[in-house]
Chain A
């Protein structure tokens, strides 16, 4: 590896910066709402800035590390910003910044609690992204679980409480499973929980059965957050219940934390060779394929917009799993790039759903006739991202799909292409009707020859709601056209792929 690893406090600063918001909220809980919330936003902006400051070094192949604490000999809390961790950190801090901006206008009650936990959650997630070993990752991952609970139940309706409870049940049982996995991993790897490019486990360290058990416990543990099909139950409840910026983050980042954990396990704990030797990829692939198809079919039957989007997320996160399971360069590239790509697209879609909810109070798709005339910019952005989700070029969705297809060919399994195409067809079936209803229907259009509403671009909503939506929609296209610009997903993910293969 050409780059060098050096000590740096920047990871720690990035993790601590969001706490400024907390301090401000705790210090002046009754101060000017404007000041409090804007400080929160600046906190997340500063975090993004700090993360971005590492970009040149990361692109040169360097990594940055800092030790936080030592638990016992050989087991320490350590932050290391390697390329993969940086990639996830960049995605999440970027989306977090936009969601925070959006929340300033969106959240209208108990905003102190919401912003405090948003900031806290960002800090924990960054910690998980920058974690240098499984132990550190686990700690931050679990903390993040609890930090995100208040975001889900924020509305405090009966539905939100039930969804939150469900989330906790799922997440805590997953945590338990994960804990067992880590203990086993610790025991059989001889106390080495760190992430290495070629994996730390091998057939020399433990028997086949034990390695497979460790893998499946990890898969089950992370699979809950990554919403792999039997473990997805909390997702379709939590997303509609949470406020829109929180659902955008849930779908865009928190689901990805699970997928990120699986990436770490597959490439940095087990390593490509061991994965091939154990032929573990088949199980992952089967689960991912089932999830992709079944979730898309379920999405088709939903009338609640956010529920439909939630099912769509379940399917899309499994694209990542499918990409990993191919164990080919393009597959891994496509899967990992989809992590960011999906965060951009689905983040935008959820934020659009939020604008619709705030401005019209409509939750059901069947009620949204002519909404494109009421909220033109929002719905144009929605359409762009929906088309991107279908994999229409030029968009990030197409790039992921192309790379996954190419990876499937590399793996010699064109059957995955069928899955991808079926999924694209189904997503067309559940996204296009929304666009159609929004732009080509209107109230009272059953009568022939009626006056059609006019598209008026004006003040459809607060700028703080519209700006994040527009930024994400523009990125959907821009990142899909100029894929290789340094700092865009491709530049980082190729580095990772070059290292692990």
Chain B
């Protein structure tokens, strides 16, 4: 195995440019302000365009000369922790498509933002978020990653809350709460990772104690939950369907197209970090293979004994992969069901994003499960990430165009838009065919790859007689059903919005709708072109972009990566596979839409209007818990008052008892002469002191009570710690 591959670093200014250009653009846009609105918009477009250029150059550079770095040298703490930029193939790949979507969104926003207020703020934070997002992709350690990840999460708040309606506020609050909790979970995971591997880099040193200990599990859970919040992984997705529709459309495109991928990227990195360790030793490179090939036979028995640690690692990663597959399947299924029953276009798209994230995580899970043979899973995942960025970005921009032109987002109140907005309809349809996975569109390629990955996982599990074989089969079935559901909700949305004849009461309104302005069409066009390109030239992309990216991962079997790159996409065996989902999807669609399709009166339940009880959703419980925990301090404060009173009463009783003791027992016994004066005056003195001191004491009784309480608690905790 080539160990040197990551060690060769090439200095390059490009990463800083990718970081600096959006920041400069943001500053310039803010400076231009509302008074020079046109100049400002041009600046935004120019800076995101230049950033795209830099991202493309960076991608070329990384592929030609390996990992590039730039010594940013920030947040340096001694020699151990330092924030630096370092881009490998995976990072460059992500940065590339992020920059594409950002450019398209800024073109779209040029015109779209005309009907919004506070435009300068929006553009300022949009560009800053771009810098932060690109930053996440351009680092090789968790320390710097956390910096950009947090910055991105916090700045996107401004994009979500932008319209400042009650709805947007509520969505944004939910968003920020989940972001902060996710961020802290991530930080906890990073700390634990640091503690048990001794490094913050994505590739820990071999001699780490990382392989053992239950803290590893905690660290993993923290890391994946932290990234999972961003990725919209069920059950951490609750912010997403509120926040994405609440934001202005270009921002929704960014949130759905790019920012949730940051979460997927993080999970991918986490899996790779775990997965990449052993190959650092020459000998152990084979060990991983041994471990994952172990299923095939007991020929390597001797090697296995030596490689016990690595083999347990492989098992762990396999379990991790299986768990991720589980969450992925849950995510894709739940997202699909909820997308099916929405009325609002943007909300449907948001749930669709949740569901599609399931596909991406599915590939990551397969990568973990397959270990060294996971090239197919990672390839499918990466392909789908790019695809989803393009079609979901295009969808949201088109939704923006619809709301801009028709002032309506309820698909049942729209209809017949294809006459009014023909070009938008074309772009929308391209994206729709893409997400449905129709042949010659991009979704077909990635779903085929993902399906191959799950088949390979199934083969591995079968041949090893693993208990998970049945589960993987179940996952495959859900995968197919979800693909069917995706086809159903996309067809439904497309049909109602664009092709159905509008209802009588809406027809007058729709009459006056005009085609979207050129700026918006340009934004959509770029992304739709991406959808087409990805669909038509899979061989080129797989060979030139995806395979080189996957190859940089240590420990993946190069032959299988090669195999992945040379997968024949447009063959009958694959095309056959989409027939089942297509049939399912069309049946569901017809089942729901038949009254409108055939102009009949509805009889029986309307499956597009299904509503599940609120308590079935996790959101309901999260909100309850959040409200309760926010109320706790106040309740505590209230409950604490009577306790304080009791403590004060107790202390008073104690003091009173002491006084009584002195007055009734000790004082009478003071009979000797020298104490006569004391005896005569002390009662008087006591009375004086009491009248002077008591008001003061009363003032401090609260503090004294707090003191007593805290001392008591501390002592108890101290005792507990001692006893333990």
Binding site for B on A (CB under 8 A): 162, 166, 169, 229-231, 233, 282-283, 286-287, 290, 294, 297-298, 300-301, 387, 390, 392-394, 398-399, 402-403, 405-406, 408-409, 414, 417-418, 421, 424-425, 428-429, 432, 436, 440, 445, 448, 451-452, 454-455, 480-484, 490, 494
Question: Is the beta-carbon distance between A387 and B164 smaller than 8 angstroms?
Answer: no
* B191 sits at the interface (CB 8 A): yes
- The CA-CA distance from A402 to B82 in the complex, in Å, is 12
* B77 sits at the interface (CB 8 A): yes
- The CA-CA distance from A91 to B54 in the complex, in Å, is 43
* A-side contacts of B151, CB under 8 Å: 392-393
Residue of B at shortest CB range from A433?
A: B173
- The CA-CA distance from A428 to B76 in the complex, in Å, is 25
* B-side contacts of A162, CB under 8 Å: 699
Residue of B at shortest CB range from A426?
A: B633
Question: Is the beta-carbon distance between A300 and B717 smaller than 8 angstroms?
Answer: no
Question: Is the beta-carbon distance between B710 and A294 smaller than 8 angstroms?
Answer: yes
* B-side contacts of A481, CB under 8 Å: 74-75
* A-side contacts of B211, CB under 8 Å: none
Question: Is the beta-carbon distance between B191 and A233 smaller than 8 angstroms?
Answer: no
Question: Is the beta-carbon distance between B77 and A417 smaller than 8 angstroms?
Answer: no
* B689 sits at the interface (CB 8 A): no
* A-side contacts of B143, CB under 8 Å: 402
* A-side contacts of B630, CB under 8 Å: 429
Kindly specify which of B306-314, B368-376, B700-708 makes contact with the partner chain: B700-708
Q: Hey, what's the 0/1 contact readout for B292-323 against A, CB within 8 Å counting as 1? A: 00000000000000000000000000000000
* Cβ distance B153 to chain A, nearest Cβ, rounded Å: 10
* B192 sits at the interface (CB 8 A): yes
Known: A387-B154, A414-B192. A394 touches B164 (CB 8 A): no
Question: Is the beta-carbon distance between A301 and B710 smaller than 8 angstroms?
Answer: no
Question: Is the beta-carbon distance between A432 and B176 smaller than 8 angstroms?
Answer: yes
* B-side contacts of A482, CB under 8 Å: 74, 76
Question: Is the beta-carbon distance between A300 and B74 smaller than 8 angstroms?
Answer: no
Which 10 pairs of residues, A with B, have the shortest CB-CB distance? A233-B703, A409-B195, A230-B707, A393-B147, A230-B710, A297-B633, A229-B710, A300-B633, A481-B74, A421-B184
Known: A414-B195, A421-B187, A452-B118. A483 touches B77 (CB 8 A): yes
Q: Pick the contact of A448 from B74, B165, B699, B710 — CB < 8 Å?
A: B165
* A-side contacts of B161, CB under 8 Å: 440
Indicate the member of A393, A399, A418, A480 with the most B CB atoms within 10 Å.
A393
- The CA-CA distance from A297 to B191 in the complex, in Å, is 24
- 12 CB < 8 A contacts A-B: A229-B714, A297-B633, A301-B634, A393-B151, A398-B75, A405-B187, A417-B191, A425-B180, A440-B161, A440-B164, A440-B169, A452-B164
Residue of B at shortest CB range from A430?
A: B633
Report the count of interface residues on B (CB-CB < 8 A): 56
- The CA-CA distance from A452 to B164 in the complex, in Å, is 9
- The CA-CA distance from A166 to B281 in the complex, in Å, is 66
* Cβ distance A173 to chain B, nearest Cβ, rounded Å: 11
* B711 sits at the interface (CB 8 A): yes
Residue of B at shortest CB range from A287?
A: B714
Question: Is the beta-carbon distance between B714 and A290 smaller than 8 angstroms?
Answer: yes
Question: Is the beta-carbon distance between B711 and A394 smaller than 8 angstroms?
Answer: no
- The CA-CA distance from A399 to B166 in the complex, in Å, is 36
Q: Pick the contact of A290 from B74, B708, B713, B721 — CB < 8 Å?
A: B713
Q: Pick the contact of A233 from B164, B165, B195, B700 — CB < 8 Å?
A: B700
* Cβ distance B156 to chain A, nearest Cβ, rounded Å: 14
* B-side contacts of A294, CB under 8 Å: 710
Residue of A at shortest CB range from B190?
A: A405
Binding site for A on B (CB under 8 A): 34, 74-78, 81, 83, 117-118, 121, 143, 146-147, 150-151, 154, 161, 164-166, 169, 172-173, 176, 180-181, 184, 187-188, 191-192, 194-195, 215, 630, 633-634, 636-637, 696, 699-700, 702-703, 706-708, 710-711, 713-714, 717-718, 721-722
Residue of A at shortest CB range from B117?
A: A452
Question: Is the beta-carbon distance between A409 and B194 smaller than 8 angstroms?
Answer: yes
- The CA-CA distance from A483 to B82 in the complex, in Å, is 10
Residue of B at shortest CB range from A442?
A: B164
- The CA-CA distance from A73 to B181 in the complex, in Å, is 59
- The CA-CA distance from A402 to B215 in the complex, in Å, is 19
Indicate the member of B77, B117, B147, B166 with the most A CB atoms within 10 Å.
B77
* Cβ distance A393 to chain B, nearest Cβ, rounded Å: 4
* Cβ distance B74 to chain A, nearest Cβ, rounded Å: 5
- The CA-CA distance from A398 to B181 in the complex, in Å, is 16
Q: Pick the contact of B707 from A233, A283, A387, A448 — CB < 8 Å?
A: A233
Q: Pick the contact of A421 from B34, B188, B215, B707 — CB < 8 Å?
A: B188
Question: Is the beta-carbon distance between B75 and A394 smaller than 8 angstroms?
Answer: yes
* Cβ distance B435 to chain A, nearest Cβ, rounded Å: 34
Residue of A at shortest CB range from B634?
A: A301
Question: Is the beta-carbon distance between A405 and B714 smaller than 8 angstroms?
Answer: no
Question: Is the beta-carbon distance between A405 and B191 smaller than 8 angstroms?
Answer: yes
Question: Is the beta-carbon distance between A402 and B81 smaller than 8 angstroms?
Answer: yes
* Cβ distance B708 to chain A, nearest Cβ, rounded Å: 8
- The CA-CA distance from A229 to B715 in the complex, in Å, is 13
- The CA-CA distance from A424 to B74 in the complex, in Å, is 22
* Cβ distance A308 to chain B, nearest Cβ, rounded Å: 12
Question: Is the beta-carbon distance between B188 and A417 smaller than 8 angstroms?
Answer: yes
Known: A231-B707, A233-B706. A484 touches B721 (CB 8 A): no
* B-side contacts of A418, CB under 8 Å: 188
20 additional A-B pairs beyond A233-B703, A432-B176, A432-B180, beta carbons within 8 Å, are A162-B699, A169-B696, A230-B708, A230-B711, A233-B706, A286-B717, A286-B718, A298-B633, A300-B633, A301-B633, A301-B637, A392-B154, A394-B83, A402-B81, A421-B188, A440-B161, A440-B172, A452-B118, A455-B121, A483-B77
Residue of B at shortest CB range from A421?
A: B184
* B-side contacts of A394, CB under 8 Å: 74-75, 83, 147
* A-side contacts of B700, CB under 8 Å: 166, 169, 233
Question: Is the beta-carbon distance between B164 and A445 smaller than 8 angstroms?
Answer: yes
Question: Is the beta-carbon distance between A282 and B718 smaller than 8 angstroms?
Answer: yes
* A-side contacts of B117, CB under 8 Å: 451-452
Question: Is the beta-carbon distance between B146 and A393 smaller than 8 angstroms?
Answer: yes
Known: A399-B77, A414-B192. A290 touches B154 (CB 8 A): no
* B-side contacts of A398, CB under 8 Å: 75, 147
Known: A394-B147, A414-B195. A425 touches B164 (CB 8 A): no
Q: Pick the contact of A286 from B154, B634, B714 — CB < 8 Å?
A: B714
